[in-house]
Structure 1
Amino acid sequence: MMWKRIGKILLVLLLLLAALVGGYAAYLLLTYDRIEDRQVVEVENTAQTEGVTARVGETYTAVTYNVGFGAYSDDYSFFMDGGKYARAMSEAAVRENIGGDIALLERDNPDLVLLQEVDRGSTRSYQVDEHELFRKAMGEYAVNHGVNYHSAYLFYPLTQPHGASLSGLSTFSRLEMTGALRRSLPVSTSLYKFIDLDRCYVVTRIPVDDGKELAVYNVHLSAYTEDESIVKAQIAMLSGDLEQDVAAGNYVVCGGDFNQDLLGDSPAVFGTDASAENWAKPFPKELLPKGISVAWDRLGQAEIESLAPSCRNADAPYEAGVSFVTMVDGFLLSDNVEILELETVDNGFLYSDHNPVRLRFTLREKEGGRG
């Protein structure tokens, strides 16, 4: 009799567990939706830069920086990379890291700032509106924010669920923004979409004094997919838009986190062991349109060898000379954008698992003069 009662209790418990798992699976499926493509992104602080056009021959500075949702201090490790944490260590840690990011940007005082993984209401970053922190600190810039992905509540790991995410791309400019558009990138349609989430890039338009436009692309490509067809489809789509801007005679500065090895063989450059952690595959440059190139490719070998890496693996706290590092951040540029200086800002991964990349550039006057 006792064993029969225990059996009934176990059966009820199993049925309850099955109902919970099934209900959660239904919740994920029913709440999943992709953000619409070609979504107009609102530009804020327009009065600050109204009438300030880009000028051919003028020198400008752009910085691209994945801020890692304010979690990645140098002692942080992330569960998706095999590390310890699913959330930032605390709300105070988020605010401290974002404050450090802001101080870095204020020191460089760039004309253009392209930020990725800026959370606005995520469990993992304790609901801190990071975009608002940057916007308030950088009040002299025009700014836009496009949502990269939003996700349902992820009940994993069970001891500290990652939770729901709302994260995006913030673009700041001291030059007038006449508009911004969000483009939805191809992503996996399998169950993997609940892990790798949505992806996009935001194109910001800035008028140039020769009648053309400076097209600023803020990009964050997929990170965890092993399906190379998805990666190639994303870059092919991006290349299609870049090609249209090149054909129109516009100037293109496309920066961000490409999650691909922009140097082609970063382990050889940085002397790190790629046998276990080389998740960053060589960027498929052959997919880029004529007139667009990876900015790092314009540097000489000595300049490449002197670079600091832009990204670390977050399977463990950062340890210089031990942690796997690579170069997934940088710029794609049109031929009419001349590099004056290009470097990684070596911050020792103090506030993020990425280091900023800084570009000083000028817009070339086209052959035959203006008009």
Structure 2
Amino acid sequence: MAALFKRMPLPLRAALFVLLALVVAAGGYVAYMLLTYNRIPDGQQLSVENNQRALLKAGEDYSALTYNIGFGAYTPEFTFFMDTGEMLDGTKTHGSSSWAASKQSVESCIAYDIELLREQDPTFALLQEVDFGSTRSYGVDQRALIAQALDGMGSSFAVNYHSSFLFYPFTQPHGFANSGILTLSAVEVDSAQRRSYPVSKSLSKYFDLDRCFMVSRVPVEGGAELVLVNNHMSAYDKGGVIREQQLQMLRSVMEEEAAKGNYVIVGGDFNHAFCGSEELFCGQQKTPSWLSVLTQADIPEGFQIVCPSNLEEVASCRDSDIPYEKGVVYESTVDGFIVSSNVRASSRVIDCGYTASDHNPVRLEFSLEPR
């Protein structure tokens, strides 16, 4: 074999060396991904930092805000490399960027988000895609920036993305990604717990999020309890199989808490279109294949999807396969709230024009019915 190799022309030997090196590198990378993969166990208890002392009271008016901040990357021009789509004329579209434009751009987006939260001044803020130590967002610790700026609110953080180094796309490797969901509260929170969602068992699990939701237990004056859920369901799930499993788990928790007589509010990024919004803002694009629909029939009896009062005027999410242009890009409302029957609520989408995220916030006004 050695003699045969020596008789080969030099260019052929060089090509074989390169091929062998690529095979070894690929094998090593696969081994690295397999060995470093782990899921966070279900039921992880979370700390409540800077916990506040005020108590909720039944019959009083409060507010909550849900907002997927898009790891500080999504300016209107930003497109994401995993997002694909199709124009009405059949033209295929594909996002291009794996990282935010720059560290300065990330910091600018987070500063915008902080100012928005200050202006809205909600009782609770439920945030998703909050990065720390991620290649894609230049290592900016977004959870610390937000929690420190809003020092009049307590905070709990649950990791739902902790991927190993992703070498794809080759021109701009996605790298390490660490991200999670952040719940902020202006009132006392007794406890917070991370619940692990079912995720894909295919190879995609090595690159996708370790999906979860957070359950915060908020005492109400007089001995009652509000169960506040910060939710972020799967997006890249062809056919919606995993999302259905996740929805089943969420339904089970909702039913269990309602049966105890608790107040329940579930807010977040459901990655399901609410209230028929999938047909309202098609623009010049076809409905994306990843989009599932959530209807009243999908949630437990005794709960209500809170449709935004401005549902037909503003959507909460844009597609990110092309830069944002109103009337061109497909939009839908996938962010929002579900409440139990003992919670009176209304909501609206806040039109930020996708200035700092591919999502617009959704604000909930609510009161807890006296017992």
Which ranges of structure 2 fall in alignment gaps of 5 or more residues? 1-5, 84-93
> 1:358 — aligned with what?
363
For 2:68, the equivalent position in structure 1 comes to 66
Match of 2:88 in 1: none
Residue 190 of structure 2 corresponds to residue 178 of structure 1: yes
* Residue 118 (structure 1) aligns with: 130
> Taking structure 1 as reference, are residues 152 and 271 closer, same or farther at Cα in structure 2, changes over 3 Å only?
closer
1:229 is displaced (CA, Å) by: 2.3
Distance 1:276 1:337 in 2: 33
Equivalent pair of 2:278/2:287 in contact (CA under 8 Å): no
Question: Which residue type is aligned with residue 61 of structure 1?
Answer: S
Mapping of 1:31-42 within 5 angstroms? Answer: 31-42=36-47
CA distance in 2, matches of 1:135, 1:285: 34
Counterpart residue number, 2:163 = 151
Of 57, 70, 73, which aligns to 2:59?
57
* Structure 1: distance between partners of 2:129 and 2:274: 19
Which moved further from structure 2: 190-199 or 354-363?
190-199
Q: Does 1:234 align with 2:246?
A: yes
The answer to whether 1:24 aligns with 2:26 is no
Separation in 2, partners of 1:112, 1:216: 9
CA distance in 2, matches of 1:29, 1:215: 36
Q: Which residue of 297, 313, 316 corresponds with 1:286?
A: 297
Maintained 8 Å contact 1:155/1:163:
yes
The one-letter code sitting in structure 2 at the alignment partner of 1:347 is C
Please say if 1:347 is aligned against 2:352: yes
- Answer whether contact 2:277 2:312 (CA < 8 A) is retained: no
Distance 1:251 1:355, change over 3 A: same
- Report what 1:369 is aligned to: none
- Which ranges of 4 or more aligned residues in structure 1 deviate by more than 6 Å? none
- Is the aligned partner of 1:216 residue 2:216? no
| 2: CA distance, partners of 1:233 / 1:335 | 24
- Work out the CA distance in 2 between the residues paired with 1:100 and 1:176: 26
CA contact (8 A) 1:196 1:225 kept: no
Which secondary structure state, in structure 1, belongs to the residue aligned with residue 65 of structure 2?
strand
TM-score (norm 2): 0.93
Provide the residue aligned with 2:111 in structure 1: 99
Percent identity, aligned pairs only? 44
Q: How far, CA to CA, are the matches of 2:26 and 2:289 in structure 1?
A: 34
Q: Determine the C-alpha separation between the residues in 1 that align with 2:370 and 2:260.
A: 15
Contact 1:196–1:223 (Cα < 8 Å) also in 2: no
User: Cα distance 1:238–1:180, how it changes in 2: closer, same or farther (>3 A)?
Assistant: same
1:141-188 CA-to-partner distances (Å, cap 9, x unmatched) read 011101112000000111110111110010000110110000000000
Q: TM-score, normalised by structure 1?
A: 0.93
How many residue pairs end up in the alignment? Answer: 356
Q: CA RMSD of the aligned region, Å?
A: 1.5
Counterpart selection for 2:330 from 318, 321, 324:
324
Aligned-partner Cα distance in 2 for 1:38–1:166: 19
Matches within 5 A, 1:184-203: 184-203=196-215
Deviation string, structure 1 residues 122-143 (Cα, Å, up to 9, x no partner): 1100111000000111001011
**8 Å CA contact 2:103, 2:140 repeated in 1:** yes
Contact 2:75–2:356 under 8 Å retained in 1: yes
Letter of the 1:140 partner, please give it: G
| Number of the residue aligned with 2:3 | none
| Equivalent residue runs for 1:130-169 within 5 Å | 130-169=142-181
Contact 1:280 1:326 survives alignment (8 Å): no
- In 2, Cα distance between the equivalents of 1:287 and 1:31? 36
Q: Give 5+ residue unaligned stretches, structure 1.
A: 367-371
* Change beyond 3 A, Cα 1:304–1:95: closer
Change (3 A) 1:284 1:266: closer
What displacement does 1:284 show? Answer: 5.4
Partner of 1:295: 306
Q: CA deviation at 1:295?
A: 1.2
